[in-house]
Amino acid sequence: ALITLRQLLDHAAECGYGVPAFNINNMEQGLAILRAAKACDAPVILQASRGARSYAGDIMLRHMVEALAEMFPDIPVVLHQDHGNNDATCLSAIRHGFTSVMMDGSLEEDMKTPASFEYNVDITRRVTRAAHAVGASVEGELGVLGSLETGEAGEEDGSGAAGKLSHDQLLTDPDQAVDFVMATGCDALAIACGTSHGAYKFSRKPDGEILSMATIASIHEKLPDTHLVMHGSSSVPQELQDLINSSGGDMAQTYGVPVEEIERGIKMGVRKVNIDTDCRMAMTGMFRKVAKEKPAEFDPRKFLIPAMEELEKLCRDRFERFGTAGHA
């Protein structure tokens, strides 16, 4: 059944687990994620970006997620708008059956220009008031996602800031976080701690200099009852880089967020963990493997079945390690 983000994260906080939020664009991703959730008896957050909504279409997405909920009746499902850029995006998502929205006011509408605190509070408060009036949840974001190594936002996917960012922007200020949550009434807070979107997060295995778990600890100390959200939380596993590169791919060596750091984060109040890149790599790695090993193959299902299995395996691992398993 569809539930709200608030319902799920309140339960997660009560029981001390985290929930992966997997991005979804198509049926195969949906089936793989729900099969994993069923195997682990885990609740699940499916999130669609603006790009996903235009790729699949709102009507397709709504019916697809309703179909998944019907096929897997024992699994609680949240349908969440990832990185809403304005009121209209968030409210149209809710009209199309989303039970939760992220109003990302850390950036202006263009999703590139870092926004002022006042702009962020104003738009997040407005969206929260409207969403709560119809029973939907809201995730806000304070701080700008980007690399503490380079000051850059990460991949140019429409969700990254332009220009060099300062450490002040890249690490959420705990006192400001208190003011933000008080002023907006949002249900969950995405914070910045040195992660960025996409595969190229860190040039080495991250330590406290470039991945600031201490920031999360300080925020949790001041806001013990607020559900924290970690974006850019793909681990970019070496095995998936190797799978892609050994089957004709050409990805440069890179490092993501180690799963053990996320496990530490969950102990410090992180409840929602956003993962897209790892899912993309799992599927694409298997497409490539089949294409390389069976060059005569042209039935898409022969590519998609192993791709779904690889994605399901990844999702099962995260449900187990985040403690989501057993909580459906």
Residue 290 CA, distance from chain mean position: 28
Candidates 152, 283, 171, 248; CA nearest to 216 is 171
Q: Is 82 assigned a catalytic role?
A: yes
> Token match 């995006």: residue?
89
278-281: list long-range contacts, CB under 8 Å, 24+ apart: 278/234, 278/235, 278/236, 278/237, 278/240, 278/314, 279/22, 279/23, 279/29, 279/311, 279/314, 279/315, 281/199, 281/234, 281/236, 281/237, 281/240, 281/241, 281/243, 281/244
Nearer to ligand 13P, 181 or 262 (CB): 262
State the binding partner of 120 from ligand G3H, ligand 13P, Zn ion, none, CB within 5 to 8 A by kind.
Answer: none
Q: Classify 110 in phi/psi space as left (phi over 0), alpha (psi -120 to 50) or beta.
A: alpha
Nearer to Na ion, 7 or 150 (CB): 7
Residues 166-195 that bind ligand G3H (CB under 6 A): none
Question: Rounded to 10 degrees, what is the CA torsion of 239, 316, 27, 22?
Answer: -80
User: Is 141 one of the annotated binding-site residues?
Assistant: yes
User: Is 198 one of the annotated binding-site residues?
Assistant: yes
Give me the least distance between CB of 49 and Na ion, in Å please.
Answer: 8
Q: Site for Zn ion (CB under 5 A): how many residues? A: 2
Q: Read off the tokens for 52.
A: 């996903």
Catalytic residue among 10, 82, 207, 242: 82
Q: Read off the tokens for 264.
A: 């530490």
Q: Read off the tokens for 263.
A: 């496990």
CB 138 within 8 A of CB 103: yes
Work out whether 139 is an interface residue with ligand 13P (CB under 6 A): no
**Which of residues 3, 9, 18, 49 is near ligand G3H by CB under 6 A?**
49
User: Is 305 one of the annotated binding-site residues?
Assistant: no
Residues 235-274 that bind Zn ion (CB under 5 A): 274
CB 115 within 8 A of CB 106: yes
- 217 burial class (0-12, 13-18, 19+ CB within 10 angstroms)? middle
Work out whether 289 is an interface residue with ligand 13P (CB under 6 A): no
Work out whether 172 is an interface residue with ligand 13P (CB under 6 A): no
> What letter would DSSP give residue 193?
B
Binding mask 82-111 toward ligand G3H (x if CB under 6 A, else -) reads xx----------------------------
Residues 181-240 that bind ligand 13P (CB under 6 A): 197-198, 231-234
Nearer to ligand 13P, 251 or 305 (CB): 251
Candidates 288, 2, 294, 8; CA nearest to 139 is 8
Nearer to Na ion, 102 or 189 (CB): 102
Q: Classify 239 in phi/psi space as left (phi over 0), alpha (psi -120 to 50) or beta.
A: alpha
Candidates 184, 190, 110, 183; CA nearest to 143 is 190
**Which of residues 62, 80, 125, 231 is near Zn ion by CB under 5 A?**
231
Work out whether 33 is an interface residue with ligand 13P (CB under 6 A): no
Nearer to ligand G3H, 157 or 317 (CB): 157
Give me the least distance between CB of 70 and ligand 13P, in Å please.
Answer: 26
Binding site feature residues for Zn(2+): 83, 104, 141, 197, 231
Binding site for ligand G3H (CB under 6 A): 23, 49, 51-52, 82-83, 157-159, 197, 276
Binding site feature residues for dihydroxyacetone phosphate: 198, 232-234, 274-277
Binding site feature residues: 83, 104, 141, 197-198, 231-234, 274-277
- Catalytically annotated residues: 82
Binding site for ligand 13P (CB under 6 A): 23, 82-83, 197-198, 231-234, 274-277
